[in-house]
Structure 1
C-alpha cells in the first residue's frame, strides 16, 4: 500500500518556532524519515494579524532549512490571530493536490520512523479528552448534538459510532484530537473543513445553542470531514511508538517513556542546536538546567491524570510547570 510522503506543520514567532525545530530535528533523527517532505507553513503579516507572526529567529529558520524543511508563506484569509488553531486548515492548501499527507501540531515529538504510515482513509489522533460537547442538564443529548451536525452536512452518523459505548458516553461518538490527522488529498480536505467551519460559525444548529465553539472548532469539524471522506478510527502508530503530542515539555519528563525522553535530550543537546533551544525558557529550565529529570523522579510511578488540566496541576504542584 502507498505511504504518506508529505508532512505539514505550522510555525510562527514565539514558542511555536522552537517546537517546530524540535519536531523537524526529531523527524530527521530517524534515517528512515529523511526522504519525507516536510512543509512548514509560516503565517505572514496581514489584516488578520496585529503583529508579525513570522519566525523571528534567523538561526531557527536556517536550521529548519538545513533539516530539509520547505518554509512556505501562509497568507491567512479566514482565521489569523483570532483563532490560531484554525490556521492549520488553511495551510492544507500549500500541499500538493491529490497527494496523501499528515498534519502535526508543532508540540509533537517524533519518536520513531513514520515513513511507513499507510496513506489509507483519513484518520486522526484518538488521544482525546471529553472537551466537547458539554451535555446540558436538560438536553439536548450528546446524540442530538452530534446528530444535528451530521444532518447539517448530509452525513450518516450511525456509520461512525463506537457501539461498545452507550448513547450517554462521549466515547461512542467520533471525536478526535487535532494534534495530528491524515488525509488523501489536502485541498479536498482543507476546502471541506473550511466549509464546515464557516457553516457552523455562521449558523450553528439550534442543538449547539448552549455549546462553546472556541477553541474546539477545529476538533468539531474534523470528525465530520473525516467521515465525509470515508475515514474513521485507524491505528497508524502515531498515538504510540511513532510520535508524542506533548503540549508542554514538562509532560514529557513527567509521563512519557524513557525512549521519548532519550530522543528529546539527544536532539536538543546536539552540538549545532543546543544553544538555540537554550534561548527558550522551557527548554532551558527542563533540559539544560535539568529540572526535567528532577520532575521525573517526583512523578515516577504515579499514573498520569486523564485530562490535560489535571496533568498540568500535578506538575504545577510539584513546582515544575513551564511552557
Structure 2
C-alpha cells in the first residue's frame, strides 16, 4: 500500500436515464471500497442543446441530493459534436469540462469500484485503457483490406508509427496483434489535452473518406476505433498498468445487472449488495426497476444459480438466452 497516495480525479457520465442510477451506484461503491481516495469525483452530465431532442441532464432531485451526499460533483458539459446521434461520444466531450492539468481516470458508468483505487500504480504520463476487450472492430469486408491494412491506414492518417504499436508475438491479421482497447476506462495526466485529441481523431474517422474504412461500422465502435490511436500518440500502450487491478480486484465493468449476477465474483456481489443497503442510497436506487428487482428484491440470486461461475458459456449470447428463458432479463 502506498504511504502517500497520488492525487487524481475520477469521472463518469450521468444523464436522465439509467446512467443517473449507475452513476449513483458507482459513487457509492467508490466511497465504500476506497475511503482513502482524496481526489474529486465528477459525474459529467450533458447540457440540453441542439444535439439533444430532450434535456439529457440529471434533473431528479433525489438523485442529485444522493450524489451530493456522496461528495460527487455534477459537472455539466456541452455537446458540440455528438449528442443524441452518438451518445458514446459523451465520454469524449465530457473530458473537455474536467479540470485542466489534473490527472484523471475515466470510467464507464456501469462500473463498480470493488477495491482500494489508491493502490493502483497509475503512471499518468503514459496513458492506458481497458484490455477487457474482444475483437469487435474492425470487421474486414470480402474485397477490402484486412485488419493490418485498416489499422495501418489509420496510423498513417494521423502521422503515427504503426509498427511500434504491434504485438509481434501475435499472428498477422489476428486482432490481438493490433492495439485495441475497451473504452470502459482510460487515464492520462490532463483531460483537456487527451479529450481534444480524442475528439479530433474521432471526428476525422467519422467524417473523412478513408478508403480502407469503407464498409466498416462506426456505430457504436467509433470511440474504440479512435482510442488506441490517441493512447499510442501520447506514448501509452497495453502495458500501462499491471494486470488484475482494474477490471480485476479494484474495479468491475459489469455492463448490465443480469450479466453481473451471472458471471462476476462473489466479492463483486458482496460489494454491490453492501453499497445499496444504506437507506439514503436504497430509496433512490429502487426507482430503477432492474436494480430494484435483481438487487433489492433478490432476484439476482436466481440468475446466479443458473450458472457455474467457474465454467461459464463461452459466448455471452448463450448467457443472455438462458437468463431470458427464465424471464429474468431486466435492463
**Same fold per TM (> 0.5)?**
yes
1:20-169 superposed matches below 5 A = 20-120=23-123, 121-169=126-174
Residue of structure 2 in register with 1:275 after alignment: 283
What does residue 312 of structure 2 align with?
A: 304
Tell me by how many angstroms 1:274 deviates: 1.2
Tell me the CA shift for residue 302 of structure 1: 5.9
What SS is found at the alignment partner of 2:66? helix
Q: Give TM-score scaled by structure 2 length.
A: 0.93
In structure 2, C-alpha distance between the alignment counterparts of 1:308 and 1:122, rounded to whole Å: 29
CA distance in 2, matches of 1:135, 1:119: 35
The answer to whether the 8 Å contact 1:129/1:307 transfers is no
The one-character-per-residue Cα deviations of 1:34-57 (angstroms, maximum 9, x if unpaired) are 412101111111111100111132
Aligned to 1:210: 215
2: distance between equivalents of 1:297 and 1:226? 40
Secondary structure at the aligned position of 1:97 is classed as coil
Q: CA deviation at 1:249?
A: 0.7
- Root-mean-square deviation (CA, aligned residues, Å) is 1.7
Which of 224, 237, 241 aligns to 1:235? It is 241
Q: What are the Cα deviations for residues 16-47 of structure 1, in whole angstroms up to 9, with x where unaligned? A: 00000000000000243441210111111111
Give the distance between the partners of 1:306 and 1:182, measured in 2 at CA: 30
Deviations 1:169-195 (A, max 9, x none): 111111100011111111111010111
Q: TM-score, normalised by structure 1?
A: 0.95
For residues 254-297 of structure 1, the C-alpha deviation after alignment (integer angstroms, 9 at most, x for no partner) is 11010000000011121221121111110111012211011111
**Structure 2 counterparts to residues 176-255 of structure 1, below 5 A:** 176-233=181-238, 234-236=240-242, 237-255=245-263
Determine the C-alpha separation between the residues in 1 that align with 2:221 and 2:100.
27
Residues 109-152 of structure 1: per-residue CA shift (max 9 Å, x gap): 11001123333110000001111000223331100000000000
Residue 315 (structure 1) shift: 2.5
Matched-pair contact (CA < 8 Å) for 1:11–1:40 = yes
For structure 1, which runs of at least 5 residues remain unmatched after alignment?
none
* Structure 2 CA distance for partners of 1:176 and 1:271, relative to 1, 3 Å: same
Q: CA deviation at 1:313?
A: 2.8
Cα deviation, residue 197, structure 1 = 1.2
